[in-house]
Amino acid sequence: MGISEHSFYEAITHAHNRILYGHPVTDFTHVRQGFVDAYARLIAMKLFSARAVDYFRTADEDDRRYLLFNPITKMKVTSEGERVVDLLWDVIAAKGFEKDTYFNGATGYIRALPKLEGTVHVNLALVLKFMPNYLFAPQEYAAVPTRLDAADDGFLFRQGPARGLGKVRFHDWREAYREAADVPNVARFTEQARRW
């Protein structure tokens, strides 16, 4: 378990054991919404990071797509970790300030991650270098499998300079959305994207 998972467990346990107006705090709709939002963000962070690792492990001199997923992970996943802790803190309130709790320690660590991973602004600037090719110049690639195999990931340690980011090409991002075209939010997003 990571920082956010431990914080989640501690927060939900505290909220469930705290009784207000004759009910556990977890019975309140807005508290449940906060937990659902925090949990959804936590799962999304984990899924994105796990998938990014597949691209890291599949990379080679001709497929450097991982160079986009690295700054997104550093920028967005760590920032979402902060948001998860904030959502949980809204639920547990003053309990979050108590010393000798996991949550109290996590609040300091989670704030450090986006800063230690290079500032959010630096990573956003890196991401922007990829966007023209990502959005408008797709290239055919073999599907990237889920990588749980024991393999030599030596390329990541000898990858060379990171110049030429604007020349890195990507598969057609719209393919992933076609599989979920019947989901209302996905349909709306793809409709908006087509207007570009």
| pTM as predicted | 0.83
pLDDT of residue 117: 67
Alpha carbons 102 and 107: distance in angstroms, whole number: 9
Task: Give the domain range for residue 118.
Answer: 3-194
**What is the dihedral sign for C-alpha 96, 6, 75, 80?**
negative
Q: Provide the pLDDT confidence category of residue 176 given band limits of 50, 70 and 90.
A: confident
Percent pLDDT > 90 in the chain is 52
Domain with residue 147: its CATH number is 1.20.140.10
Q: Coil, helix or strand for 123?
A: helix
When divided into structural domains, the chain yields a total of: 1
| pLDDT tens string 53-79 | 999 999 998 899 999 999 999 999 988
pLDDT of residue 46: 92
Give whichever of 27-31, 83-87, 97-101, 105-109 has the largest mean pLDDT: 27-31
For residue 14, count other CB atoms closer than 10 A to its CB: 20
CA dihedral 157, 169, 54, 155 (to 10 degrees): -20
For residue 32, count other CB atoms closer than 10 A to its CB: 14
For residue 76, count other CB atoms closer than 10 A to its CB: 18
